[in-house]
């Protein structure tokens, strides 16, 4: 177990008191950073970058060198898992990811097997190397977050091949062949659980499950299709490693309407997009006796405004939560919150905007904590 | 005032008792129907179709000749209004609508003026002709619904030019130049109110406001940006014409999380997508003493399943609502509901699926009403 120089993020996830609000950003290592683009150019392609542990390590740490962030997240892609199941991931120029062998027939679905973790060794190697690279004077600068797509979100890409058609084929299979969908979800849940477990063994200190497409499911189906599969995954995860708890963050984009259901899934942290205020979410969770931490929820497009406007919007989020009840006795209302965006940062974001955001989160969250 | 052969839809909107659940489908006149494609081929293009009252009348009535529907909706496009403001609507082959002159500069925004209703005469002519075409043996077969996009949804297209970039420019203007956004919303609200008013004068018997992109706004912004502008529109609308009430339906796709706010806007009917069950919505609205009718909320992708599965899902929606409290004393729980999809019907839908849906809605809603 390495000593952490900065454990704000882990404490926020676990609902412990901290001095200032912890901050990281979804997709913080990405195309809005010139240094990322330089490494990607060296790697030749996105997949060249993601499959090379040295490059993946390099880009994972880049945002930490630029901004006062409280965590880094493994640089990878959610589609590495179906790729390891033999679906043939490729990135066509300017078109986003596609699979060469999408699951469109009963035969293809029935042949699907749990991903072979040996084929994902490059990911676990990246995790180990990132952990090493985070050491400074014998101590670890910030914790490393591992992640995976949710079983349903992976199924969306696996069946449709790409996001071009709003996952019409995935939803159609769900409605018309629930038996096939259940098989895919079961295989995916086992694959995701194995994948995240290996990430923890390699050094991931928190885990995030991205349910990017759960929000497009009908009420009722969300619970039995996406959430049930996430619950299976979480039940299989190691919750402690190297003597530390491994918090699990779950995020269904567009899922705030199902907050009470999400609270039952076994996660430590619920990540929210910007459609529900944190104070409303806090009150609702306390109302059902589920004092879970929250992550979120700034609209990433606010980062296209002037620094003053960015600060004003970040402050609003903090002030709203500061007005809510505390998670537990003895905490400040701002404890139990990981500041983040409600979706990945846009590739067009001016890098200076993140500086403004970080300053605002640090300053205002310290001020609000000092006041009360 | 023409005598209505079938007034189920209007009664459902106004929360009056009916014999079976009323049904119509968003985008019911559209590319999934071969007869629509035949008329469109005659017209030469989508705009050729939408701007020709005779063709618009023809396609508006097509679904009524095929299915036992309880209303027709004017065939048109929400972007006719910004087109009449001089933005230059065009439909590039296979690319959806774009504007030649999107609002990207302060100068362009400040020059924006309320749409000239004379330029939309072809729409009002279509409304009158549709009303005439609905007459059978001196009586009107079903009511005619008029519609418009919401001020915010129109602003999204007007600023971004198209939906290609997830309306990044519209949201950026909202966050960074709220003064310019407010000007656009004010102009749009006046334009939409004038447009809907003219539709009523021409013969529209109910109105629907499509807030297709309100659901992507952050909490707080949704209320002050999209909902406030919708409220302005509704306040300006005629609520009675030809001796009949003109119900207003409002629909924010992805907006169920803000149901209580939507209930305050002055609409008679709240349309929901499939992310919130109708029983939950009914209970929530009764809880804040707003006994409003509901419209929705089948996922249109269910129409890609077998007839038996389509019927099963339609039945689930009806049975769920039948288990909820009644809107008012003396009603059946199924009263005050307009069955519809939660989004427009897909162009790839097999036409036979709509037959199966209509049969299920009629049969099960009569059965459930007879039982209790």
- For a pLDDT cut of 90, what percent of chain B falls above it? 94
The answer to whether residue B77 is catalytic is yes
Task: Show residues of chain A in contact with B176, CB under 8 Å.
Answer: 304-306, 309
Question: Given pLDDT bands bounded at 50, 70 and 90, which one contains residue B1?
Answer: low
* Chain A residue with minimum CA distance to B302: A175
Are β-strands B135-136 and B139-140 bridged in parallel, bridged antiparallel, or unpaired?
A: antiparallel
Q: Please state the rounded mean pLDDT for residues B6-24.
A: 98
pLDDT at site A166: 83
The whole-angstrom separation of Cα A117 and Cα B17 is 60
Q: In chain B, what residues touch A275 (CB-CB under 8 Å)? A: 215, 217-219, 222, 254, 257
**Tell me: the pLDDT tens digits for B73-102?**
999 999 999 999 999 998 877 678 889 999
CB contact under 8 A, B175 and A299: yes
Give the pair of three-digit tokens for residue B217: 């706004």
CA distance B54 to B51: 9
B304, pLDDT greater than 80: yes
3-state secondary structure of A276: coil
Mean pLDDT, range B290-310, rounded to an integer: 97
Question: Which of A215, A219, A305 minimises the CB distance to B276?
Answer: A219
Burial (CB count within 10 angstroms: exposed 0-12, middle 13-18, buried 19+), residue B39: buried
What single DSSP character describes residue A134? T
The per-residue pLDDT for B168 is 92
Give the whole-angstrom CA distance, residue A46 versus residue A51: 9
> Is A77 in the active site?
yes
What residues of chain B, 121 to 150, have a C-beta less than 8 Å from chain A?
Answer: none
| Phi (first) and psi of residue B209, to 5 degrees | -110, 120
DSSP at A118: G
What is the H or E stretch that residue A296 is in? Answer: strand A293-298
Q: CB distance from A94 to chain B under 8 Å? A: no
Q: Could you give the ipTM of this predicted complex?
A: 0.94
pLDDT of residue B87: 95
pLDDT in tens, B237-273: 999 999 999 999 999 999 999 999 999 999 999 999 9
Contact B215 A275 (CB under 8 A): yes
Give me the mean pLDDT over the B331-351 stretch.
Answer: 97
What confidence score (pLDDT) does residue A372 get? 62
* Residues of chain B positioned with their CB less than 8 A from the CB of A254: 215, 254, 275
- Measured N-to-C along each axis, helices A307-322 and A351-371 cross at an angle, to the nearest 10 degrees, of 30
pLDDT tens sequence across B124-163: 999 999 999 999 999 999 999 999 999 999 999 999 998 8
Selecting among B19, B31, B125, B261, the annotated active-site residue is B31
CB A67 within 8 A of CB A354: yes
Spatial separation of the C-alpha atoms in residues A86 and A151, rounded to whole Å: 16
Across B45-49, average pLDDT? 91
- Rounded average pLDDT over B212-226: 97
| Interface membership of A275 toward B (CB under 8 Å) | yes
3-state secondary structure of A306: coil
pTM, rounded to two decimals: 0.96
Secondary structure, 3-state, chain B: CCCECCCHHHHHHCCCCCCCCEECCCCCCCCCCHHHHHHHHHHCCHHHHHCCHHHHHHHHHHHHHHCCCCCEECCCCCCHHHHHHHHCEEEECCCEEEECCCCCCHHHHHCCCCCCHHHHHHHHHHHHHHHHHCEECCEECCCEEEEEECHHHHHHHHHHCCCCCCCHHHHHHHHHCHHHHHHHHHHHHHHHHHHHHHHHHHCCCEEEEEECCHHHCCCCHHHHHHHHHHHHHHHCCCCEECCEECCEEEEECCCHHHHHHHCCCCCCEEECCCCCCHHHHHHHHHHCCCCCEEEEEECHHHHHCCHHHHHHHHHHHHHHHHCCCCCCCCCCCCCCEEEEECCCCCCCCCHHHHHHHHHHHHHHHHHHHHHC
The pLDDT score that the predictor gives to residue B2 is 78
Residue ranges of chain A with pLDDT lower than 70? 1, 94, 372
């Amino acid at each position: 177990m390495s000593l952490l120089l900065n454990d704000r993020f882990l404490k926020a996830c676990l609902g412990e008191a901290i001095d200032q609000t912890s901050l990281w950003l979804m997709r913080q290592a990405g195309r809005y950073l010139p240094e990322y683009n330089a490494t990607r150019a060296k790697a030749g392609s996105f997949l060249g970058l993601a499959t090379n542990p040295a490059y993946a390590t390099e880009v994972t740490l880049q945002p930490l060198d630029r901004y006062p962030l409280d965590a880094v997240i493994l640089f990878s892609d959610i589609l590495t898992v179906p790729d390891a199941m033999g679906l043939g991931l490729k990135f066509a120029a300017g078109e986003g990811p596609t699979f060469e062998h999408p699951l469109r027939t009963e035969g293809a679905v029935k042949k699907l097997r749990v991903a072979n973790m040996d084929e994902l060794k490059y990911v676990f190697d990246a995790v180990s190397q990132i952990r090493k690279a985070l050491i400074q004077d014998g101590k670890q600068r910030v914790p490393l977050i591992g992640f995976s797509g949710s079983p349903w979100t992976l199924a969306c890409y696996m069946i449709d091949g790409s996001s071009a058609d709003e996952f019409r084929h995935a939803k159609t299979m769900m409605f018309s062949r629930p038996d096939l969908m259940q098989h895919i979800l079961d295989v995916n849940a086992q694959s995701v659980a194995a994948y995240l477990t290996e990430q923890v063994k390699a050094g991931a200190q928190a885990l995030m499950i991205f349910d990017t497409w759960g929000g497009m499911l009908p009420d009722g189906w969300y619970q039995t299709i996406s959430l049930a599969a996430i619950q299976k995954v979480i039940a299989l995860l190691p919750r402690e490693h190297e003597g530390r708890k491994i918090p699990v963050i779950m995020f269904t984009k567009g899922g705030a309407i199902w907050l009470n259901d999400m609270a039952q899934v076994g996660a430590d942290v619920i990540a929210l997009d910007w459609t529900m205020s944190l104070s409303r979410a806090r009150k609702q969770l306390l109302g059902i006796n589920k004092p879970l931490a929250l992550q979120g929820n700034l609209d990433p497009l606010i980062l296209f405004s002037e620094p003053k406007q960015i600060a004003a919007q970040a402050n609003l989020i903090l002030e709203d939560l500061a007005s809510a009840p505390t998670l537990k006795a003895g905490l400040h209302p701002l404890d139990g919150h990981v500041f983040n965006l409600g979706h990945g940062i846009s590739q067009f974001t001016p890098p200076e905007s993140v500086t403004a955001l970080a300053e605002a989160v640090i300053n205002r969250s310290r001020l609000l904590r000092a006041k009360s």
